[in-house]
Structure 1
């Protein structure tokens, strides 16, 4: 029964995310926000709601490993989404169609966040501020600074408006966006509780369940967002939604730490998360390379970094399993 509940919750998340992305694109086209800005902040925040409710529920049931593993694992799975989509649609050369100046700050900041997390996991007894790890305070401050100074310059033409945008006003799109975000939030709660029960029934480690099974499920909205953005040829939104979601996930982890009252949440988590965070560092470095490298005419030579990312993800998953 728990498997069925887990599956149904994941399906609800996906369906809601499809419409969520549609309304996000309408808001992008009918407001002054660029596709990259909408992807990095608006859609990234909404599609990260399953991670938020999952981790909050994990704290409530006193399972910090699921809370931490879900956030870090979701970041890794998000990067895997970009890699796999880049391989499948290699003829479009995703990373050669987006301006690196708009996405590089998000990628570098995501890399910094993971380095901070790894340092905190490896060095026990880090200082706390009102029960929150000092590393989380640093992460939040860095994010606030990035949000303040990030550029919202247009990187794509907004002359082509999706057909669905003609059917909704900006106000209706905003209302629809909020309603669907709440649905995603509720389905994420069910996903977390059933995931915890799944760990108990199957005998799997909670860290593994959080980092891979639940993380993959809560990242389904990001997958739908990227595929929909590709369909609309809104490549800035595709990349921005993933990188932005990863940054937002770390803010949600900080919020989760605030709710966790038994000290810093990273101090309570197992060291196995270091391997997942290190994988996130490797994959983020690969994304940075893809954003900066010169153009190439060969399809398979272009796809090599994404192929390596996908292969390493599979190997690490197998080893940890």
Structure 2
């Protein structure tokens, strides 16, 4: 029965995420926000709701490894999604169709967040304020600055892309976007709880559960968002939703640390998360390279970095688990 519940919840998350992306695209067409801004903030926040639910559940059951592993593992899966989609649709030259100025700052901030996490995991005896690690306050400060900076930047607006959509007003699109975000939250809650129960039945350890099983499940909305953005040729939203989700996930980890009252959550989590965090660092550096490198004519040469990302993920996953 738990398997059926898990699959049904996953299906609802996927369907809701498809519609979520549609209305996000309409908002980007009918507002001053660019596709990158919509992807980085609106859709990234909504599709990260399952991760929030998982973190709250992990705090409730007193399992910090699931909370931390889910956030870091979700970032890994998000970047893997971008690499695999780029490799499959290599002829579209995803990273050559967007302005690097819109996305490199988000990637660099995601990289910085992960380096902060690694430092906190490596150094014993984290400095705490009100039971929360000082690194969390640093990440919140950086995120606020980045949100202000990126919201003032813009690439070619999605409104310039001719996409056949039903004639929704901006208000109607916003209302539907919010309602669908709530559906994602509810279905993500069921998905996370079912995934946790599946893990208990199978006897897998918490690090594996958080970093792979639950992380993969909660990354389904990001996968659908990227594919839907590809369908309407909104490449800025595809990349922005992934990089934005990775930044937003770290803010959800901050929320988790505030709710986990025993001690700083990174102090309570196992050191095995460092290896997954290092994998995120490597993958993010490769994404930055893809955004900055000169144009390449050969589709296979173009897709080589994405192929490397995918291979390294498989090798590291096999070595760790």
What TM-score, normalized to structure 2? 0.97
Q: Give the superposition deviation at 1:149.
A: 1.8
Distance in 1 (alpha carbons) for counterparts of 2:193 and 2:211: 15
Q: For residues 157 and 48 of structure 1, do their structure 2 counterparts lie closer, same or farther at Cα, with a shift above 3 Å needed?
A: closer
Deviation at 1:261, TM superposition (A): 0.7
Report whether the alignment pairs 1:148 with 2:151: no
Query: How big is the shift at 1:161?
Result: 4.1
The gaps in structure 1 that reach 5 residues or longer are none
Aligned to 1:159: 160
- Partners in 2 of 1:29 and 1:195 — Cα distance? 37
**Matched residue, 1:230:** 230
For the residues of structure 1 that align with 2:124 and 2:189, how far apart are their CA atoms?
Answer: 30
Report the alpha carbon displacement of residue 148 of structure 1 after superposing the two structures with TM: 1.4
Question: Conserved in 1, the CA contact under 8 Å of 2:158 and 2:234?
Answer: no
- Find the counterpart in structure 2 of residue 196 from structure 1: 196
> Taking structure 1 as the reference length, what is the TM-score of the superposition?
0.97
The Cα offsets for residues 78-117 of structure 1, whole Å up to 9 and x where unpaired, read as 0001000000110111111111111010000000000000
Match of 1:260?
260
For the 8 Å contact 1:20–1:181, the answer to whether it is kept is yes
Name 1:55's counterpart in structure 2. Answer: 55
Query: Would you say 1:38 and 2:51 are equivalent positions?
Result: no
Equivalences, count: 320
- The alpha carbon displacement at 1:129 in A equals 0.9
Equivalent residue of 1:318, what SS?
A: helix
- After superposition, residues 50-199 of structure 1 pair within 5 angstroms as 50-150=50-150, 151-156=152-157, 158-164=159-165, 166-199=166-199
Contact 2:26 2:170 in 1 (8 A): yes
Matches of 1:57 and 1:317 in 2, distance apart?
A: 25
Secondary structure of the residue that 2:124 maps to in structure 1? coil
Verify the 8 A CA contact 1:58 1:192 in the aligned structure 2. no
Between the aligned partners of 1:115 and 1:154, the Cα distance in structure 2 is: 28
Give the Å deviation of 1:159: 2.8
Matched position secondary structure for 2:159: coil
Over the aligned positions, Cα root-mean-square deviation in angstroms equals 1.1
**CA offset at residue 162 of structure 1?**
2.6
CA contact (8 A) 1:26 1:162 kept: no
3-state SS of 1:33 partner:
coil
Contact in 1 for aligned 2:29/2:158 (Cα 8 Å): no
**Distance in 1 (alpha carbons) for counterparts of 2:87 and 2:284:** 16
Deviations 1:1-44 (A, max 9, x none): 22222222111111110111111011110111100100011110
1:189 counterpart SS class: helix
Q: d(CA) in 2 for partners of 1:69 and 1:80?
A: 16
Quote how far apart the aligned CAs of 1:163 are: 2.0
